Amino acid sequence: MSVYLLEECTETEKKLIEAAKQATKNAYARYSNFKVGAALLLENGEVITGNNQENAAYPSGTCAERTAVFFAN
């Protein structure tokens, strides 16, 4: 397994990491308290974010990546 330092990331990668971190602020993780954010970079340069959304009727919540893909469509 490789370890990557933030200093080694490109500016685009840093932008995506920051967008994913910001997306965690809107996550709904009432049960696990584990907030996750995801960021997608579209071909046109647009950044789409998503976050995890938990539901009491486990496992009907959605992961951050799926939420981001949903908003990209």
Q: Which fold has domain 9-72?
A: Cytidine Deaminase; domain 2 (3.40.140)
Residue 51 has what pLDDT?
98
Identify the band that residue 58 occupies on the pLDDT scale cut at 50, 70 and 90.
confident
Residues 3-45: tens digit of each pLDDT: 889 999 999 999 999 999 999 999 999 999 999 999 999 999 9
Kindly give the residue spans of alpha helices, DSSP state H, lying in 1-73.
11-23, 64-72
Catalytic positions, written as ranges? 65
- Phi, psi dihedrals of residue 63, rounded to the nearest 5°: -80, 165
Give me 65's structure tokens.
């990546």
| Residue 26 near residue 51 (C-beta atoms within 8 A) | yes
The confidence score (pLDDT) of residue 60 equals: 86
The model carries a pTM of: 0.87
